[in-house]
Amino acid sequence: MKYVTLNNGVKMPQLGFGVWQVEDQSATAAVLKAIEYGYRSIDTATVYQNEAGVGRAIKQAKVNREDLFITTKVWNTDQGYDNTIAAFEDSLKRLGLDYVDLYLIHWPMPKHDKYVETYKALEQLYTDGQVKAIGVSNFEIEHLERLMKETDIKPVVNQVECHPHLVQQELKDFCKKHDIFIEAYSPLEQGGDVLKNEVLTEIAEKHGKTPAQVVLRWHIQNDTVIIPKSVTPSRIEENFQIFDFELSAKDMDAITKLDIGRRIGANPNEMNER
């Protein structure tokens, strides 16, 4: 496992395990399997409705709590200072924990204009020691600029959709300049046709790896934190086997050139659902 050092000094595994769209009961077995294979970072959220399942896995795992890195997120309906504090307490109870390692705002929801107030609640939770680090998800450059202007603690990560068909280079450059890590969700484009691309299949064959492993390695070498999701034990294991090979500069460039700006999720400026 490789670790990155966040801008507040906290170390975070560069490869994590995501549980989006995993049912609560299934989440326990999937997370236990991931921990067994060596994953130490688990990413959940209130809206996933599986925090309790993740919490059961944490309790059953034969790994010390301090060796795990647990992320959850405040959902859109809970934005606002007081609501966020209450939502965090509810998340802690469902997870069965007394702190989380990373707490994120799930979406900026610009139309509702509550993300600055919401982030101030995250700052308070951080100051109180209930979270080890705070950050955001799905924030565009303009949201980050305003947040850094109107709050005191810089986000440590910005978790966004990112894969070879949506490279997010401008956002990556901005975040790197401000020492904010990009954390990629849907790093494999949810198993989309990107994995069938001839460029990837040729690179994979050259390295004796699968196209999925090549894409995950591309993220790693781009200093991106990743949280691939699977409930299939063989895939969970496959996604972990990415630290024993290296892509060349030519490989990296060829993958980056697959960018077509295609989102499979919502546009952050248009996502105002509550």
Strand 3-5 vs strand 225-226: parallel, antiparallel, or unpaired?
A: unpaired
pLDDT at 194: 87
Are the C-beta atoms of 144 and 182 separated by less than 8 Å?
A: no
pTM: 0.96
pLDDT at 244: 97
Are the C-beta atoms of 188 and 161 separated by less than 8 Å?
A: no
Q: What is the mean pLDDT of each run of 10 residues along the chain (274 residues)?
A: 97 97 94 96 97 98 96 97 98 98 97 97 98 98 98 98 97 98 95 87 98 98 96 94 98 98 92 77
Scanning the structure block, which residue is given the tokens 């469902």?
94
d(CA 76, CA 43): 17
Q: Name residue 166's beta-bridge partners.
A: 163
Q: Name residue 158's beta-bridge partners.
A: 136, 182
Q: What positions carry a catalytic annotation?
A: 48
Q: Distance from CA of residue 74 to its chain's centroid?
A: 14
Scanning the structure block, which residue is given the tokens 């565009």?
140
